[in-house]
Amino acid sequence: MNRIDKKNFFDLTFAGNQKTSSMNTTTLAKDLELSRIVHGHWRLAEWNLSGQELLKLTEQAMEQGITAFDHADIYGDYRCEKMFGDAISLKPGLRRDIRIITKCGIKLVSARFPGRKLKCYDYSFDHILSSVDNSLTNFRTNYIDLLLLHRPAPFFNPEEVAKAFSHLKKEGKVLHFGVSNFNPLQFGMLSAYTDEKLVTNQVELSPYCLEHFENGNIDFFLKEKVKPMAWSPLAGGRLMNPQDEKGRRIAHALSEVAAELNADSIDKVILSWLLKHPASIIPIVGTGRIDRLKIAAEALHIDMDMEQWYKIYNASTGVDLP
């Protein structure tokens, strides 16, 4: 795939000749590129796929240019990492062509850990290292491309985290690091301690969820040139099947923009809305259906203009710009 032209990502003019169709990858660090769409595996255990079927879905995603796969140690009650690892082990050469993202830090009450009586967060040196070792075993690989801290925690020692990151980098077990659901202050706090640059922050972003436009995170991403990942970019179905007034407003605006763009799917318009933003948002699409992944990939070919972008934004806030 072609290396992305970085100028496109910082073009704040929304120029009409900006074409997302060329944006096949985006650079998070000097030696880390991710596909512009990431395949999310949060619900992988619910897709009821055999190892061979999951391998086929993975290869089909790659044919669409989707080569990054998002996990967490806890997904599927600690099962999803292993399911994916077992699948890709059926074709060992595949590993070099994909990027594996996973998260750590949340401890669930689970039959797999009978001693736990309460859900909590653990970012101690020992737990981070233990989580990574478990993930490596699950994925049947000797390195993780990108490790994220799953959520900010009220009990958090950044020196312990920095020590763990440094150790994992030195050992070659993790190539890059980031966070998930952090606000700008939390991101900056951890960055002040780590030698390793935090390359992303995975947050909830969609036309329905504007939290990170409102809390300063989007401005922070642009300032620090950190490219965020967007979980739940389709708002968990609240835009395709709206259940409240806000959802209905946004769905109406999306339908109007879809008609203007000759887009045959609202999904494409939603993803295009995220992809258009100069913060270089990377949507995570979680589906076990290849037709949905094809629709996501086709969103890269939609060239939304500024008025269309703001029509959707205004529908979400419920008011016109001041």
Catalytic residues: 75
According to DSSP, the residues that pair with 144 across neighbouring strands are: 174
What 3-state DSSP class applies to 70? strand
Distance CA 68, CA 240 (A): 25
Strands (E), 150-307: 174-180, 198-204, 229-231, 282-285
Greatest Cα-to-Cα distance within the chain, rounded to the nearest angstrom? 58
Distance CA 27, CA 32 (A): 6
Residues 6+ apart with CB under 8 A from 101: 34, 38, 68, 69, 70, 71, 144, 145, 146, 147, 148
Helix H or strand E encompassing 286: none
Distance CA 14, CA 277 (A): 8
Do 181 and 160 form a contact (C-beta atoms < 8 A)?
A: no
Strands (E), the chain: 25-29, 32-35, 38-40, 68-70, 99-104, 106-107, 120-121, 144-149, 174-180, 198-204, 229-231, 282-285
Distance CA 272, CA 127 (A): 38
What 3-state DSSP class applies to 39? strand
